[in-house]
Amino acid sequence: MDKETRDMLLETAGRFFTERCDRAVVNNVEKGEWPADLWKEIEEMGLPLIAVPEDKGGVGGTLADMLALLRLAGEHAVPVPLAETALANLLIAAAGGEPKPGPATLALGNLKLSGGRLTGKILRVPFAGVAERFVCVVDKTLVVVGKGAAKVEATPSHAGEPYGSVTFDNATAEFSGASAVSAERAFELAAVMRAMQMAGAADRVLATAVEYSKQRVQFGKPISTFQAIQHMLAELASCVAATIASAEAASRDADEGGLADGGAFSIAAAKSQCSDFAHRISAIAHQSMGAMGFTHEHVLHHYTRRLWVWRRDFGSESFWGEKIGAAYAKAGPDALWPSLSASRYPA
Amino acid sequence: MSIPKLEFPPFHLPPEAEALRLEVRAFLKEAVPRIKTEDRFASWNTPSPEFSRELGKKGWIGITWPKQYGGSEKSFLERYVVTEELLGNGAPAGAHWVADRQSGPLLLRFGSQEQRDAILPRITAGECFFSIGMSEPDSGSDLASVRTRAEPVPGGFRVNGTKVWTSGAHRNHYCITLVRTSGQHGDRHKGLSQLLVDLKTPGVTIRPIINLAGRHDWNEVTFTDAFIPESCLIGNEGDGWLQVTSELAFERSGPERFMQNFYVLRELVRVLGRNPSGRAAAILGRLIARLWTLRQMSVAVAGMMQGGKSPAIEAALVKDLGTIYQQDLPEIARVISESDATTEDDMADFLDIAQYATMMAPSYTIQGGTTQVLRGIVARGLGLR
Ligand SMILES: Cc1cc2nc3c(=O)[nH]c(=O)nc-3n(C[C@H](O)[C@H](O)[C@H](O)COP(=O)(O)OP(=O)(O)OC[C@H]3O[C@@H](n4cnc5c(N)ncnc54)[C@H](O)[C@@H]3O)c2cc1C
């Protein structure tokens, strides 16, 4: 997708999200309602097929195009599995399959495949409660299992989205094919996807807090005129900028390096960094908004609660930090700078 | 809802910069162990005139400047790579750092032809070193309140006043000094000028100020009826404030604001050994991820500068994040090493390093603009003031 096309798509999608993902829609998802109309419109716009090639009925965008869209979705707390479905469809197409309509999600982790049947249990699968199908990568095989062949125990996330654990017990595949990516890589791609959503949500948290500070009057003036608030929001801006910068750098590296293994280290570093800063970002934003920001009425929690959930999805800072730390320790001190400055794991 | 965006678009250093990196790295691999310095862990403020001369011979000081001054007319991005390699490889680059980073560029931009011809070739040769004469006893964050007075007299200025915290003045050749040349103390930004002061000038007295680690880096520089010739005025009389703020942009944006104590991270990798516990690895990895992020942001700022923008707010933001990281690093490293060092000997050695780094850490968030000053700049960028 050239830059102009991407900008146009993002602008259209941004306008659409602003109009259709309002507070009520997000809150209703939390009450357990599935926004069927919203999903239908998202599909009509082709968004879940953004990174599926045109000859497979997709939009023909790159991984980077998809990730840019998902940052935007994060900025609007879009309460449907657009991210999960877009990545699932990309992986299905890359494995020679035909993406189908309907919400999908990723069930990534320790699974066994034998005789074409899938066995194992994955915890905290995003949108497990509403997904039509689950996409898994086992060894070098991509397996798609329909919801009828899986057992889902719903445990909504702390942001109120229908997460849950998924059990496959000798489940039959709806589709299976040679995966374009390893299981580990699928997890990495899911991590950069979440990092970009976190970047979007963090951006919105900053905008919300800055806006509020200009409107809220205490002691006869907007609180934005208090130096304490200015400095808090400046620190917030730094944490948000770092979140966005790391996610964008990882997104670029993942895209440029190719689907199979591009930007492996950058993704790990970015997801660690984004997860790490989620705490400071939400802590400062909430502090600066007083009781109002702590209400269910205000939208701030749509973003801060997602940050708290997303930082744990597809590897927390502990997970990715350990992976980076173990690799760098193994290579020893002399490899530190050459590897870090090349954005890669030590050889 | 719209607020000004502070974005750091991912930026690739170009191939010529990456090629230069390998050259610089190969040189440092040989030169750094050979050159003895007073510091075990050298950084951008560890001076070694010997090292600076060698770097000058390579053409890596004033690398962006015109060839007529001994520069190489390379891009700002190539300079970026040289600086980060110096930091990443523990080079004692302190002698020429300020001259290369801000004094030379200031003279290039505002200096007279005579000043440029006299000074710049000596800087690029690694033979001429600079101090920064901004702060005074009563003027720190509030720099515009400086009182050092340069009174116009026939042929030049008679200077009286005191500068403090003047790093390296006891070793360096010149000090670019911010003075009041006209108007009154309360005039703030008006009536200030910058003078190129030869530190050997009669009437200029340099006394050491020792920092908490017992080091003599700082000085008090007193001017008592010191005569500074007119030819040493930099730029126009009265333009000092404009010039000094452009100098601060150079001072704030570099990788030295998050790599000053890179040796702590390096030594942490050593002390944790090749096979650390999961907990120790996670802490190490998170630190590496933080540093990587800072580097992505700083490279993005370099890209903006190369593109002709002046990202002053972005630079302040990176310095704020970077110096806080540098302050956290020795502390996090100490705590994890206490539980996870591989041997007692390694541990003793590492605690020594961490202790030294801990003593130096308070300075990071003060020099070059305090955290609070930087946050004021970022807040202005957010439209809050
Ligand atoms: C290692 C080191 C090297 C240095 N080298 C040099 C050098 O070579 N040349 C040189 O000229 N200077 C040098 N400095 C001085 C440095 O520029 C000043 O220390 C710095 O500008 C802060 O000034 P100050 O120390 O007077 O602190 P002050 O300005 O007195 O600040 C004290 C505290 O008050 C806060 N504060 C001040 N104003 C405000 C405000 N408006 N709002 C909120 N908080 C505020 C500050 O953030 C700080 O926390 C060096 C400093 C250090 C630490």
Domain boundaries, chain A: 3-178, 183-342
Query: Residue written as tokens 């998170």?
Result: B286
Buried b (16+ CB within 10 A) or exposed e, B109-118: ebbeeebbee
B167 pocket-lining for ligand 1 (C-beta < 6 Å): yes
Q: How far is CA A85 from CA A69, A201, A252, in A?
A: 13, 19, 21
Query: A183-342: which CATH architecture?
Result: Up-down Bundle (1.20)
Residue to mutate, A225, A226, A227, ligand 1, most ligand atoms under 8 Å from C-beta: A227
Nearest by Cα to A208 from A145, A120, A292, A126? A292
How close is the Cα of B135 to the center of ligand 1, in Å? 8
- Say which of A249, A251, A325 has its CB closest to residue B285: A325
A195, A271 in Cβ contact below 8 A? yes
Strands B216-229 and B156-163: antiparallel
Nearest by Cα to B240 from B382, B139, B128? B139
- Domain A3-178: give its CATH superfamily: Acyl-CoA dehydrogenase/oxidase, N-terminal domain (1.10.540.10)
Asked if B281 has any chain A CB less than 8 Å from its own CB, the reply is: yes
Closest-CA residue of chain B to A265: B289
pTM for the predicted model, two decimal places: 0.97
This complex has an ipTM of 0.97
A167, A121 in Cβ contact below 8 A? yes
Give tens-digit pLDDT for A104-131. 999 999 999 999 999 999 999 999 999 9
Backbone Cα Rg of chain A:
20
List strand residue ranges (DSSP E) for chain A, in order: 104-106, 112-114, 117-125, 133-138, 141-146, 151-154, 164-172, 175-178, 217-218, 221-222
Counting runs of H as helices and runs of E as strands, what totals does chain B give?
A: 13, 8
- Which DSSP string do the residues of A18-60 spell out, in sequence order? HHHS-HHHHHHHHTT---HHHHHHHHHTTGGGTTS-GGGTS--
Q: Which residues of B touch A213 (CB under 8 A)?
A: 384
Nearest 5°: the CA angle B138, B193, B180 is 45
Residue of A6, A211, A238, A284 to mutate for B, most B C-beta atoms under 10 A? A238
Nearest by Cα to B77 from B9, B10, B6, B21? B21
> Which amino acid makes up residue B297?
M
Atom of ligand 1 nearest to the CA of B134: 11
Contact A340 B297 (CB under 8 A): no
Digitized pLDDT (tens) for each residue of chain B, 385 residues in all: 467 788 899 999 999 999 999 999 999 999 999 998 877 787 888 999 999 999 999 999 999 999 999 999 999 999 999 999 999 999 999 999 999 999 999 999 999 999 999 999 999 999 999 999 999 999 999 999 999 999 999 999 999 999 999 999 999 999 999 999 999 888 989 999 999 999 999 999 999 999 999 999 999 999 999 999 999 999 999 999 999 988 787 778 789 999 999 999 999 999 999 999 999 999 999 999 999 999 999 999 999 988 988 898 999 999 999 999 999 999 999 999 988 888 888 888 888 889 999 999 999 999 999 999 999 999 999 999 9
Closest-CA residue of chain B to A338: B88
Q: What is the DSSP letter of A341?
A: T
> Which amino acid makes up residue A149?
A
Which parts of chain A sit beneath pLDDT 50?
Answer: none
Q: Which residues of B touch A338 (CB under 8 A)?
A: 25
Asked if B322 has any chain A CB less than 8 Å from its own CB, the reply is: no
Counting runs of H as helices and runs of E as strands, what totals does chain A give?
A: 11, 10
Query: Residue written as tokens 């750098």?
Result: A249
List strand residue ranges (DSSP E) for A148-258, in order: 151-154, 164-172, 175-178, 217-218, 221-222
For chain B positions 209-248, those within 8 Å of chain A (CB to CB) are none
The H or E element that residue B162 is part of is strand B156-163
pLDDT on residue B2:
62
> Which amino acid makes up residue A151?
K
Q: How far is CA B161 from CA B183, B223, B240, B293, B317, in A?
A: 16, 5, 17, 43, 33
Across the strands, what pairs with B220? B207
B268, B333 in Cβ contact below 8 A? yes
Closest approach of A273 to chain B, Cα-based (Å): 6
B375, A230 in Cβ contact below 8 A? yes
Q: What are phi and psi of B149, to 5 degrees?
A: -110, 135
Nearest by Cα to B132 from B122, B147, B143? B143
Question: How many of the other CB atoms lie within 10 Å of CB of A96?
Answer: 14
Contact A270 B293 (CB under 8 A): yes
H helical segments located in B93-239: 94-98, 104-110, 113-124
For chain B positions 344-363, those within 8 Å of chain A (CB to CB) are none
A285, A209 in Cβ contact below 8 A? yes
- For residues B236 and B258, give the distance between their C-alpha atoms in angstroms, rounded to a whole number: 35
Across the strands, what pairs with B79? none
